[in-house]
Structure 1
């Protein structure tokens, strides 16, 4: 288990006992997040499905291929979001993607920006990555602010990158290199 203490939040890799809280978080934010990511089949929002996803993420973490963190309130009582360092590739790439979602009730509090900075630092210092990338919808102004607050650089527009709820959507590509990390 990886634990990271922040000023506004506490991050730790998800474990099997988080399945119920994760399913509740996903269900509560289903339509809020659906603006920028696909809606899933109803089964996806169940505790059983999330239990399986957590088991898969633990397996991938052991193989150093993915780190899936829960974002918890500072007092560690409530799961309020999730953030992952995923699709980890070794040389010649030495890169990964970062992705995150925050409970609607906890947006605009700086918690997501702090979480991105913490996981980015973890990626460079502990996982020894050279580059971390992120995709973000041009419509998602909040997520663009998060990445820019974390000092990620917009590299360009990827046309019709993701199929979201019946429509192909463009996404910006953001990145940070190891030598650019604070």
Structure 2
């Protein structure tokens, strides 16, 4: 399933094997920035071979209706500037999934993440027919909290020592949106 969603500031599309090298460049540019809120990766992760395998796996996951991962691209340059996924898709009795995203540090504060989350949320509710979409976010990640709140997600709670990031257990807020709120 090849996905393409057009926005005003960006577009989202399924990644292809040919995108692996550009994904490596995105990951390397943001290695330190993203490691603030995500676990650090081994050096081998930043290779075209590993990224090709991750793209192959995402294609398989989409075919199995488990996960939909796409690249976030800048309109003017067609440059890969982030990625976003609807993942852990659960069918009845839940009809839910999680949304997760990362934006190139050079592009934060421009509304791109907000637009990408809106596009993926619409996909989740309109095409996947989900009832609920959830997100986890570090209490320290003010930008991401703003993105979720601007797109209509509500904070439902705090998950204590939820994620092990770079040697520490970190709390995360739990956000969600129900289809009726969309």
* TM-score, L = length of structure 2: 0.98
Counterpart residue number, 1:148: 149
Unpaired runs of 5+ in structure 2? none
Q: Is the 8 A contact 1:113 1:146 kept in 2?
A: yes
For 1:11 and 1:75, locate their aligned partners in 2 and report how far apart those are by CA, in whole Å: 13
Counterpart residue number, 1:77: 78
| 1:98 and 2:99 aligned | yes
Q: Is the 8 A contact 1:10 1:76 kept in 2?
A: no
Q: Matched residue of 2:121: which SS?
A: helix
* TM-score, L = length of structure 1: 0.98
Counterpart residue number, 1:38: 39
Note the alpha carbon deviations across 1:65-113, whole angstroms, 9 max, x for none. 1100100001352000000000001000100000000000000000000
Counterpart residue number, 1:22: 23
Q: Matched residue of 2:94: which SS?
A: coil
Q: 4+ residue runs of structure 1 moved beyond 4 angstroms?
A: none
Q: Matched residue of 1:68: which SS?
A: strand
Q: Give the total of aligned pairs.
A: 181
| C-alpha RMSD of matched pairs (Å) | 0.7
Counterpart residue number, 1:124: 125
Q: Is the 8 A contact 1:69 1:82 kept in 2?
A: yes
